[in-house]
Amino acid sequence: MNALRRLEGVDWVRWGVLTLPSLFAIPSAPAWTWPLIALVAACSVPVLLLRTVRPPWLLPTVLVLVIAVTGALWVLRPGGFTSVSMFGATFFTLRSFGRLASAFAVAAATGTIVAWSITQHLGWLNALAILCVLIVMVLLAANRRSRVERLEQTELALARAQTAAEEHGRAAALAERARIARELHDVLAHSLAGLALNLQGARLMLVRDGASDDALAQVERAQKLASEGLSEARNAVAALREDVVPVERTVSDLLTAYRLDSGARADLVVEGEQRELDASVGATLVRAVQEALVNTRKHAAGAEVDVRLVFGADEVALTIADRQGRRPPDAPAPGYGLRGMSERVALLDGALESGPGEDGWRIQLTVPV
């Protein structure tokens, strides 16, 4: 269900432009026009109340209907100000929606202007002047859409540049870690291994020659310290080469790649106290996001994606939802990807739910930690 949002001044202005001219015409309008006025008021409600109207074709449809109805009122009652609503709805449609909705809006407004010019017996110059107002609106809307597209392209280019810079920095850090790991392995670890072998040989020689217990104890202690140092050096090398990345960072990188590939919005919300997770838990969460994004690319290309990661006291919850703008059909049978995801979650004693939601596919899993 779409959430209501806090109304801003621009919302009230837009609603007033679409509705108030028709409402002000009620006292002088005949009764047979009241249903048309009521239709205009009803169609303007989605513009005022809802943040995202679903399905996506509903809002442009009602705006085109507002253009047609207010245009009819303008032609039938030329003394009113319903033309303000018609031109306002036309501009809003041209500015906010695609070519198909804009074409219908321009056609409806042009037909209204032609009909009004004929009924008012205007000369062709006066009719052309009114049409010029519509042409100016088309140009202004086209300019705004072009500016928005340029801004989006700029933001996309900046995001790609930032991602490239992050990857470059990450690659440099990994290269430095690998260099340090090689130095530790080739110098320190080898030296400690050789030291441990020499001390073992020294202990055997002392035993053969009947050395005192104190001398044997000192050599054995030195051998133990060398062995422990060798173990610590190997652990340090393994840690440097492993480069553990937090789950939220990995998921964020996956969503960034999806945004760059599809151009659609993909957001991550993290709640709770973030902490390092067990390797199996982290791998399960990351694989779930990967599989969900693969399915979105396959079945709902270009859909927006919302991911919510919640760190609880005893569990971690992950929700992945794509916004297709419609309820998808039920899957006849779970695919291999979802089946494998379910098996991984079951091995961790977690729970997995997946299926169609109101406006897209939704996957939710919970894993104990």
Residues 264 and 359 in one domain: yes
pLDDT score of 245: 60
Higher pLDDT, residue 235 or 94: 94
For residue 270, the model assigns a pLDDT of: 92
**Listed ranges 93-97, 130-134, 258-262, 350-354; the one with the highest mean pLDDT:** 350-354
Take residue 224 and report the two structure tokens written for it.
Answer: 């133990």
Is the pLDDT at 1 greater than 50? The verdict is: no
For residue range 99-153, what is the model confidence (pLDDT) as tens digits? 888 888 888 888 888 888 888 887 888 778 888 888 888 888 888 878 888 888 8
- Among the ranges given (17-21, 83-87, 304-308), the one the predictor scored with the smallest mean pLDDT: 17-21
Residue 177 has pLDDT above 80, yes or no: no
Confidence of residue 3 (pLDDT cuts 50, 70, 90): very low
- Please check whether residue 143 lies inside any domain of the structure: no
Residue 149 lies in a domain: no
Q: Collect contacts of 143-150 with beta carbons under 8 A, ≥24 apart.
A: 144/95, 145/95
Is the pLDDT assigned to residue 365 strictly greater than 90? Answer: yes
pLDDT class for 358, splitting at 50, 70, 90?
A: confident
Average pLDDT over residues 49-78: 77
Boundary (domain end) residue, out of 212, 242, 272: 242
Closest CA to 47 of 71, 12, 3, 84: 12
Q: b/e per residue, 182-203, with b = 16+ CB within 10 A?
A: eebbeebbeebbebbeebeebb
Torsion sign over Cα 296, 306, 289, 331: negative
Question: Of 73, 72, 67, which Cα lies nearest the Cα of 47?
Answer: 67
> Is residue 100 assigned to a domain?
yes
**Both 179 and 274 in a single domain?**
no
Residue 256 sits in the same domain as residue 279: yes
Q: Determine how β-strand 304-311 pairs with β-strand 266-272.
A: parallel
pLDDT band at 6 (very low <50, low <70, confident <90, very high): low
Report the percent of the chain where pLDDT is more than 70. Answer: 87
Q: Is residue 252 part of a domain?
A: yes
Tell me the residue range of the domain where 272 lies.
247-368
Same domain membership, residue 295 and residue 187:
no
| Closest C-alpha to 61, from 16, 116, 108, 20 | 108
Residue 329 tokens read as: 């059909």
State whether 70 and 178 are in the same domain: no
Q: Which pLDDT score, from 0 to 100, does residue 244 have?
A: 55
Q: Does any domain span residue 170?
A: yes
Closest CA to 56 of 89, 19, 96: 96
Residue 305's identity, in one-letter code, is V
Over range 297-312, report the average pLDDT: 89
CATH number (domain holding residue 355): 3.30.565.10
The pLDDT of 289-310, averaged and rounded, is 88
Number of domains the chain contains: 3
The predicted structure's pLDDT at residue 2 = 43
pLDDT of 332 reads 58
With cut-offs at 50, 70 and 90, classify the pLDDT of residue 210.
confident
Q: What residues contact residue 13 under an 8 Å CB cut-off, 6+ apart?
A: none
The verdict on 294 and 363 lying in the same domain is yes
| One domain, residues 254 and 363 | yes
- Confidence category of residue 77, pLDDT binned at 50, 70, 90: confident
Residue at a domain's end among 197, 216, 242: 242
The tokens describing 55, both together, are 């399905």
Interval 253-264 mean pLDDT: 77
Question: Is position 205 within any domain?
Answer: yes
CA atoms of 332 and 119, how far apart (whole Å)? 59
Do 254 and 327 belong together in one domain?
Answer: yes
- Kindly state whether residues 237 and 286 are assigned to the same domain: no
> Using DSSP, how many helices (H) and how many strands (E) does the chain show?
12, 5
Q: In this structure, is residue 153 part of a structural domain?
A: no
Same domain (yes/no): 259, 331: yes
Residue 105 domain-assigned?
Answer: yes
Burial of 241 (0-12, 13-18, 19+ CB in 10 A): middle
What does the pLDDT read at residue 27? Answer: 73
Considering the entire predicted model, what is its pTM?
0.40
Question: Length of the chain, please?
Answer: 369
Q: Quote the mean pLDDT of the chain.
A: 80
Do 109 and 24 fall within a single domain?
yes
User: Are 104 and 211 in the same domain?
Assistant: no
In this prediction, residue 320 carries a pLDDT of 93
CA dist., res. 102 & res. 90, Å (int): 8
Residue 59 has pLDDT above 50, yes or no: yes
Position 259: which residue type? R
Partners of residue 351 on adjacent β-strands: 366
Lowest mean pLDDT across 69-73, 326-330, 358-362 = 326-330
Helix (H, G, I), strand (E, B) or coil at 191: helix
Domain end: 121, 153, 188, which one? Answer: 121
* Average pLDDT rounded to a whole number, residues 247-265: 80
State the Cα–Cα distance between residues 362 and 319, nearest whole angstrom.
7
